Structure 1
Amino acid sequence: MTDMNASIVEEWLDTNQEFMQNYFMRRADILLINKWLLHHGFNILQEYVSQFGPRGSISQENGSPSSPLDRCSGDVFFDGKHHRSNSKKHLRQDYAKSKMRNMFRTYEPTSTQESTTEARRNSLKEMRMFRSLPPNSVNILSLLIQSRVRLPRYPSKDIDIKRELRHTNEREFFLEIVKDIANDLDLKSLSSKIIANISILVDGDKGSLFVVEGRSGGRGTLVSKIFDIHSGTYILPATSGDGSIRVPWGKGVIGHVGDSGETVNLTKASQDPRFNDEVDRIIGYKTESLLCMPIRNADDDIIGVAQVINKKEGEQGFTKDDEKLLGTYLPFCGIAIYNAQLFEAYSKDYERNKALLEVVHDLFEEQTSLDNVILKTMQRAQTLLKCERCSVLLRDGSSEKSFNKVFDMGCPLKNGHSTTSAEHDLCLGNKIAELVLITGESINISDAYQDPRFDPKTDQITGYHTRSILCKPVRNRDFQIIGVAQIVNRLDGHPFDDSDDQLFEAFSIFCGLGINNAQLYEEVALASARQQVALEVLSFHATVPSDEITQFKVKKLPDAQELRLEDWKFNDFSLNRDEMVMAGIRMFNDLGLIRKFRIDYDVLCRWLLTVRKNYRNVAYHNWRHAFNVCQVMFAALKKTNCRRHLSDKEILGLTVACLCHDLDHRGTNNAFQQKTSSALSQLYGTKATLENHHFNHAVMILNSEQHNIFANFTSDEYSEVINFLKHAILATDLSIHIQVRDKFFNAVNQDQLSWDDRESRDIIRSILMTTCDIAAITKPWEVQRKVADLVMTEFFDQGDKERNELKIQPQACMDREKQDELPKLQLSWIDGICLPLYKSLSKMDPCFKPLLDGVLENRSWWEVLDTERLAKHTVVETGV
């Protein structure tokens, strides 16, 4: 095309940019795109070399680039200070995550490039945004690892093209081989490129590259990731399980250079004592000359050794100029190798942390089966640590050095685990496992057959060859050893290193947590089963047989008038046990509860008889007391105006609460439960301990088969009545009564008592419960005196327990030695609790006045007895 034609086409393209862009989108390949990038300012390697020289390091302080190369899309990052950062955070390159992913997919030269016009347009748009992304937006290494993307590699030229470029334009060739390795993070691929480039650079026939590995805790080893013809090694390197070749530190020419850091340039290699021709003899190759130089990082640490053998043309050996050229190129190799090693370490850390998180997930996901927890943990450990076998041996609870269960997982996996069913399963490393179990110390054996603690008979029995063993104790949350975890034989043939030890330590901890959680779950499940059985047994023995119910069904229901149930002066001891049950049915009937709530008669009989049966045979807080409290409530609902203000559900809740408010009472008060740290106090706490137990016991009876007198309620109605029931039973705790009575007294005294708001109704129901609970103080003197004796009998029994069992001095009201002070104590009880309550009740509703009169009458009797007590006391003291 002539210049005129070219200018015409260019002018036409300028005026038809949309066509030009579409054409570019359809026709441009990855090479053209890379040229476009280089032309528009992305040839930063050349800019770096011209401004900063060949040395550099990985750094990006405070998230801002310090040299042109920091802004590139590759994996090699530098700073102007030529220092390598000691933190992985300096591997950051700040680009938006989604943008980078799309861009990397576009840059990567694969056979699956997007072909649509829209995809290419988006790709170029991403490129234009490349240098304008916000700082500190994402950690580029995390992005690469998580998305499993690789940075765009510079398209490496063919070896013949490189050789031609080496002789035609040395400067361009040098920049070419620097760019060739600049952004390759795969150490194996990088090694191949470096070997090819150094061979071309100094006209060598063959090359080798060894990098330093395993420095932690030692001097390390020189390792080659690819097999290439090389010479000067002390012995023929053995190829390990991962395909790499290892040379001992300080051995042979390569080992010597790695150890000393000196350059070795031999014209006659075979004449040097450090040279070994075993490789030549095996592969039929003749080494004449060699050039071996160390590779250093930015901290001047040796991280590898490069070797070129047999100068091709001209000189008999490698010259000083060759040394200088190679010495100029190797610092760039050091940067690339360090980046690749760091990225590889970062990748391993990421995968290991991911595996540990998956273990934690497994522990929380699976806690119901001990076997599943251990097997999942073993699978994770075996996959990440890349070992042939993984075992967990659980300690026998009856022995300090034996196991009762073994989990053994081989590689490849074969149906999971084996247990104690086979004798040889217990023999796998058994002596070492026993030693770890006894001492609690980890054991790491690099060569089992050279260690006296290993018994070769185990391999003879199993037909397995053990090379290396790592064994650790497994502990529970109390740091007690509950087993041993063991891994055998790394897949690559190497012994377990410090990194394996640390990672397996984490797995043993997680394994211990998983075992502990699974065992706790099993204990809870077992306890739940025991509880269920206990409830079934208690339910059977706590309920009444059907024939007993039949007896009550055929009996004629007595009249309330006949039983004097509406009388304030009802004799608490006038009815026997069966008559009280019939009277209870009568009260339900006369309050209209059976009809209004459609309570089944058989269910009501069964419920009343079961409630009676669940009261213990104690002196006062027994079934008779519960019935007497219910009788007073019945009289109050019949004789006063309270019934007009209470709903039917509230009346039902109060009636049931009176009969159930002391269920399973043990004859001791709340303070005694707390002093003895009883199971009740542990279960319900220190507030209203017994009252909470009474309520729960009532609910248990209601939930028993054919005992639910609330069966015809909807769920909302049931919840409402249950709440009334709970509130009423808890109100019988005197400490709660003292908290609410002042509000009641103030409302009555100020004539502000309201039945309309919820809080006032709650207070009134609480006051009614206490009124009925302590109503024995209002009964005729003969009844009151007998009840007082029963109460004191119960109190004295508790006082005896406190003195004899708890070794504490009981309160005066419970001290048997002070029983003559009963009149004085009763006066204090009446004046402090009873009189204020019944005075306010009488003021609220005059129909309660007979109760106040009964209290005053009984007070006068107690006052007489107290006067007689004081007179006797005076006679004793004075002798008159």
Structure 2
Amino acid sequence: MLTMTQLSQSDVEDWFESHKEVFADIFLKKADMTIVNKWLLIHGYSPISEQTSYHPKRGSLSTDNSTPSSPNDKNDVFFDSRHHRTNSKKYLRQDFAKSKRKNIFRTCEPTMCSAEATTESRRNSLKEMRMFRSLPPNSINMLSILIQSRVRLPRYPSKDIDMKKDLRMNNEREFFLEIVKDISNDLDLRSLSQKIVANISVLVDGDAGSIFVVEGRGTAKPSLVSKLFDLHSGTHILPTSMEDGSITVPWGKGIIGHVAETGETVSLTDASQDARYNDEVDRITGYRTDTLLCMPIRNADDEVVAVAQVINKIGAPEGFSKDDEKLLGTYLTFCGIAIHNAQIFEAYSKEYERNKALLEVVHDLFEEQTSVDNVILKIMQRAQSLLKCERCSVLLRDGSSETTFKKVFDLAYPLKNGQTCQSSDSMSNYQLGNKIAELVLVTGETINIADTHQDSRFDPNCDGESGFHTRSILCKPIRNRDNQTIGVAQVMNRIDGHPFDEHDDQLFEAFTIFCGLGINNCLLYEEIAVASAKQMVALEVLSYHGTVSAEEVVKLKSRKNADTSNWKLDTFNFNDFSLTSDDMMFAAVTIFKDLGFKRTFRIDSEVLYRWILTVRKNYRNVAYHNWRHAFNVCQFMFAALKKSGVRRHLSDKESLALVVACLCHDLDHRGTNNAFQQKTSSALAQLYGTKATLEHHHFNHAVMILNSEGHNIFGNFNSEEYSEVINLLKEAILSTDLSRHIQVRDKFFAMVDSGMKNWDDRESRDILRSILMTTCDVAAITKPWEIQRKVADLVMTEFFDQGDKERNELKIQPQACMDREKQDELPKLQLSWIDGICLPLYKALSNLDTSFKPLFDGVLMNRSCWEVLDAERLAKDAAMHTEV
């Protein structure tokens, strides 16, 4: 026979394998918690926490589920939110079955008779079933805020109730410290209530206990609510109290209500003999209440925040003693602090959820702006979910009436058979009955009715017709951005049976504001959509009427052999009035060909003809800023590029942009200047702002023509080249604004005075192109006197027309140059124009390139002519003054 020292580990394992009963017996006798936890970890299970104990009477492990203490506890929603369970029937049955097996709160005494055991089992089953029923749908983690922010509060591990009983028997001081620690860091009212009930029952040897928390403090109807169902007595239970697992006791009713109202302690040796006693619960559970101790729980401000009750003192038919009252009162002082903290935390948790819901509403508003119906439905769903009410309605006002509605949205809870929000354009489908919504619509005031059947404004027949029982109503106006009432929103019947309180009022106020914003945004979107559609139609009309017919293009093409040699297009002394409108169009085509643009940029002939014809058609019939002026500016640019040396400083693309800009620089000119657009707040000023208003419009009009089908003379450019030439075109047209010319001319004058010969850098070329545009735009001042005087008269005609509008329509005094009553001052004004703008410009140009010297001479010659006229004016004024 082998000795123990001769046995190897494998031999021992083989022996235990063949004697499993012995191995199990040794394990049960010798294994401690450390060994058990090691086995659990190796096999993938969670280790057992300290509060878990083995009950020989039950043959099972028992854990106090109300107080999870470790991150590995699956019931600890604080440490691991992934273990949340739904309240589906499947899990409800599983949880109830487990709780029934565990029998957490108490075990049957060995000496209990059969009838007593049956009653006790019935009490336990009913209590535990109600406890699990009380979990609300989609319940929120009690520390959701702390979990969201990753904050972890330390939580004292609660001991099993049997361990507490043993501790009380062995060390009462240590026991009292234990039950104080037990509630010190628990911020969930339900869990805290479970602990307090268990602790006070052990503390004073009570067979059962309950706790009711005060809700609605400061309101007209405060009440007491039990966060879990437990045996209690002496209460008047509201009919709907037990629907969600909680019990509501009216203020001042029954023993519990009396204690809450008066703050007195009630101790009874025979509860059934007290007039305040109500045996409703005893009849439901089959449990008899004999002795009873009911005490208030106060906060630091000495306000009653809850009521605790212990019933049937074990082993003492005479009831609870004065020592019990003193001991319980001492412990309830700590409970008051814990409940107060939990209530504060619960209030902040609700506020957090409310703010979160409001942010989601804001998100919905920005996500959905195309449909009023969808916006209202989303807001109603959020409001109903957060306010926890049975019904939510939105009624939109009929614009033609002060007291009627044109559309109604109604959302009932819970939705049945796939029912969704009902909306109707007919009030016959929605029986208001009480006329409360109409009253809110008319007065614009909020109405909050706690009990509709006690209010004269409510018609009880309304419920009979609709089949809906209305208990309470909160109704508010919906206002638009102008603070006008556009509808009414109302919620009915809080699910918990309470009336709508101040917090509900404030929250619903936010929802009505969001509802108004949502409706307003949708209406604005609809207006924008309509405006966009109108704009598209307008563009289509403009495109049709603003472009030319195929016959006009054929007619222009037929003149391709016309003789243009006598027109002197490439000279500075070209006669601005020598060509007809059709001649000017053909001359423009000639300019494109002569400069090589048509060949270099592969411009299609038909596209070029159509574009030039359309540009002409888009000039208005005004005195000066018309198609003739546009062509004359283009002709002068053509002469400058041909006769001077500036073209060698410019690329072909820049030259093309300058010529196109000359033809387009006054497109759709209205015969009034930028200042007039600002004074009248015209559509152009609103669209383009106050700087270079008309110039921006001219450029955008040019782009519109280029984008019209068959008009893009830049069509053969790649994307980079197209972008470049469009930018050049924009800068060229904007530079015809004289205020911009004033900003760049000093730089140009300085460059010329310094004898600068190299204009190849980008900034220099930008300045040169800008100066060339102004040079060509005001070039009429360089022409022979007959032409110059005629152009000046046309300019003054436009100016005087604008001055007449300012005087007659705007009721303001026009500037001297636009005042028809001061037209004899024209020579003086022309001299100022020449001296301020023209002479410095053409002098600098002649210094830059001698080819421009005739232009400077032409300005001087015209100045002398205006000077003679001004002298005649002064002599005439002097003669008139002498006669007077």
TM-score range, shorter chain: 0.7 to 0.9
| Alpha-carbon separation, structure 1, partners of 2:763 and 2:629 | 29
Please give the residue correspondences for 1:614-653 in structure 2 after superposition, counting only pairs within 5 Å.
Answer: 614-653=618-657
Counterpart in the other structure of 1:678: 682
State the partner residue of 1:759: 763
Partner of 2:490: 486
Q: Deviations over 1:664-703 (max 9, x none)?
A: 1111111111111111112112211111111111111111
For the residues of structure 2 that align with 1:22 and 1:542, how far apart are their CA atoms? 94
Pick closer, same or farther for the CA change 1:760–1:652 going to 2, 3 Å.
Answer: same
* 1:157 aligned onto 2:157: no
Measure, in 1, the Cα distance between the counterparts of 2:151 and 2:469.
Answer: 36
Q: Which residue of 1 aligns with 2:353?
A: 351
Q: Given the superposition, is the C-alpha separation of residues 521 and 148 from structure 1 closer, same or farther in structure 2, using an over 3 Å criterion?
A: farther
Higher mean displacement: 865-874 or 469-478: 865-874
Map of 1:816-855 to 2, 5 A cutoff?
A: 816-855=820-859
Q: Could you tell me the TM-score, scaled by structure 1's length?
A: 0.82
Asked whether the 8 Å contact 1:257–1:264 carries over to 2, the reply is yes
8 Å contact kept, 2:68–2:158: no
Report what 1:515 is aligned to.
Answer: 519
Match of 1:550 in 2: 554
Kept in 2: contact 1:235–1:276 (CA 8 A):
no
TM-score, structure 2 as length reference? 0.82
Aligned-pair distance for 1:540? 0.7
Q: 2:406·2:425 contact (CA, 8 Å) conserved in 1?
A: no
Please report how far the alpha carbon of residue 771 of structure 1 lies from its aligned counterpart in structure 2 after TM superposition: 0.9
Question: Which of 257, 260, 265 lines up with 1:258 in the alignment?
Answer: 260
How far off is 1:392 after superposition?
1.5
Classify the secondary structure of the residue corresponding to 2:588.
helix
Residue of structure 1 equivalent to 2:800: 796
Could you tell me whether the CA contact under 8 Å between 2:435 and 2:457 is conserved in 1? yes
Name the structure 1 match of 2:111: none
Q: Quote the offset at 1:238 in angstroms.
A: 5.5
| Distance of 2:37 and 2:178 partners within structure 1 | 26
Secondary structure (helix, strand or coil) at the match of 1:419 reads strand
Q: Decide whether the 8 Å contact of 1:108 with 1:151 is kept in 2.
A: no
Runs of 5+ consecutive residues of structure 1 not aligned to the other structure: 1-19, 37-73, 77-95, 112-138
1:104 aligned residue (54, 66, 79): 79
Decide which of 144, 147, 162 is 2:147's aligned counterpart.
Answer: 144
Secondary structure at 1:486 match in 2: strand
Q: By how many angstroms is 1:837 displaced?
A: 1.1
CA distance in 2, matches of 1:753, 1:860: 33
Given the superposition, is the C-alpha separation of residues 140 and 791 from structure 1 closer, same or farther in structure 2, using an over 3 Å criterion? same
Partner of 1:338: 340
Q: CA separation of 1:179/1:662 partners in 2, compared to 1, >3 Å: closer, same or farther? A: same
Among 405, 408, 430, the alignment partner of 2:407 is 405
Please name the residue that 2:505 is paired with. Answer: 501
Give the letter aligned to residue 228 of structure 1.
D
What's the CA shift string for 1:131-153, capped at 9, x where partnerless?
xxxxxxxx987323667999757
Change (3 A) 1:656 1:194: same
**Which residue in 1 is equivalent to 2:438?**
434
Residues 296 and 304 in structure 1, CA contact (< 8 A), matched pair in contact too: yes
Conserved? CA contact 1:288–1:309, under 8 Å: yes
Q: Is contact 1:606–1:707 with CA below 8 Å preserved after alignment?
A: yes
SS at match of 1:104: coil
In 2, Cα distance between equivalents of 1:169 and 1:586:
116
Alignment of 1:293-304 (within 5 A): 293-304=295-306
Partner of 1:722: 726
Partner of 1:807: 811
**Which residue identity is paired with 1:484?**
V
**2:405–2:427: 8 Å Cα contact kept in structure 1?**
no
Deviations for 1:760-789, whole angstroms, at most 9, x for unmatched residues?
111111111111111111111211121111
Is 2:389 the counterpart of 1:387?
yes
Separation of aligned partners in 1, 2:246 and 2:385: 20
Query: 1:177 Cα shift?
Result: 3.8
Q: How far apart are residue 420 of structure 1 and its match?
A: 2.5
The residue aligned with 2:473 is 469
Aligned position for 1:126: none
1:195 is matched with 197
* Equivalent of residue 449 in structure 1, options 421, 442, 453: 453
Question: Is the alpha carbon distance of 1:469 and 1:149 closer, same or farther for their aligned partners in structure 2, counting shifts above 3 Å?
Answer: farther
1:770 paired with 2:745, answer no
* Paired residue secondary structure (2:773): helix
Distance in 2, matches of 1:845 and 1:351, equals 78
What CA deviation, in whole Å up to 9, does each residue of 1:593-617 have, x standing for no partner?
Answer: 0111111111111111111011110
Equivalent residues of 1:207, 1:229 under 8 A apart = yes
Residue 841 of structure 1 deviates from its aligned partner by: 0.8
Q: In structure 2, what is the equivalent of residue 594 of structure 1?
A: 598
Name the residue aligned to 1:370.
372
- Cα displacement (A) at 1:401: 2.2
Asked if 1:782 corresponds to 2:786, the answer is yes
Of 697, 700, 704, the residue aligned with 1:696 is 700
Closer, same or farther: CA 549–460 of 1 in aligned 2, 3 Å: farther
> For residues 272 and 830 of structure 2, what CA distance do their matches in structure 1 show?
118
Please report how far the alpha carbon of residue 546 of structure 1 lies from its aligned counterpart in structure 2 after TM superposition: 1.2
Deviations 1:527-584 (A, max 9, x none): 1111111111111111111111111122224344232101211111111111110000
Helix, strand or coil: the match of 2:437?
Answer: helix
Contact 1:104–1:152, Cα closer than 8 Å, also in 2:
no
Deviation, structure 1 residue 297: 2.4
Runs (4 or more) in structure 1 with deviation over 6 Å come to: 20-24, 28-32, 106-111, 146-151
Measured against aligned partners, the alpha-carbon deviations of 1:36-72 in whole angstroms (never above 9, x if no partner) come to: 9xxxxxxxxxxxxxxxxxxxxxxxxxxxxxxxxxxxx
CA distance, structure 2, for counterparts of residue 879 and residue 174 of structure 1 = 122
Amino acid at match of 2:348: Y
Compared CA separation, residues 386 and 281, structure 1 to 2 (3 A): closer
CA shift for structure 1 position 416: 3.3
Change (3 A) 1:455 1:547: farther
Q: Which amino acid aligns with 2:722?
A: Y
CA shift digits 1:322-354 (9 cap, x unpaired): 112212322233233334333332332222222
* Residue aligned with 1:484, SS: strand
8 Å Cα contact 1:558/1:583 also seen in 2: no
SS at match of 1:567: coil
Matches within 5 A, 1:147-186: 154-159=157-162, 162-163=164-165, 165-186=167-188
- Change in Cα spacing, 1:856 to 1:30, as seen in structure 2 (3 Å) is closer
Structure 2 residue identity aligned to 1:763: I
Give the Å deviation of 1:234: 5.5
Deviation at 1:399, TM superposition (A): 2.4
CA RMSD of aligned residues (A): 3.3
Q: Secondary structure at the match of 1:682?
A: helix
Q: Which string of whole-angstrom CA distances, capped at 9 and with x for unpartnered residues, describes residues 500-527 of structure 1? A: 1111111111222222222211211111
Which residue of structure 1 aligns with residue 579 of structure 2?
Answer: 575
Question: What residue number does 1:710 align with?
Answer: 714
* Counterpart residue type for residue 291 of structure 2: S
Choose from 326, 329, 348 the match for 2:331: 329
Q: Distance in 2 between matches of 1:525 and 1:714?
A: 34
Q: For the residues of structure 2 that align with 1:450 and 1:677, how far apart are their CA atoms?
A: 59
Counterparts in 2 of 1:262 and 1:319: CA distance versus 1, 3 Å: same
Percentage identity across paired residues of the two chains: 70
In the other structure, the counterpart of 1:136 is none
Judge conservation of contact 2:268–2:291 (CA < 8 Å) in 1: yes
Give, in angstroms, the shift of residue 800 of structure 1: 1.0
With over 3 angstroms needed to count, the CA separation of the structure-2 counterparts of 1:627 and 1:267, relative to structure 1, is: same
| CA distance, structure 2, for counterparts of residue 103 and residue 517 of structure 1 | 41
Instruction: Identify if the C-alpha distance between structure 1 residues 742 and 279 changes in structure 2 by more than 3 Å, giving closer, same or farther.
Output: closer
Q: Secondary structure at the match of 1:427?
A: coil
- Residues 391-445 of structure 1: per-residue CA shift (max 9 Å, x gap): 2222222222222222221223345333334544443467212211111111112
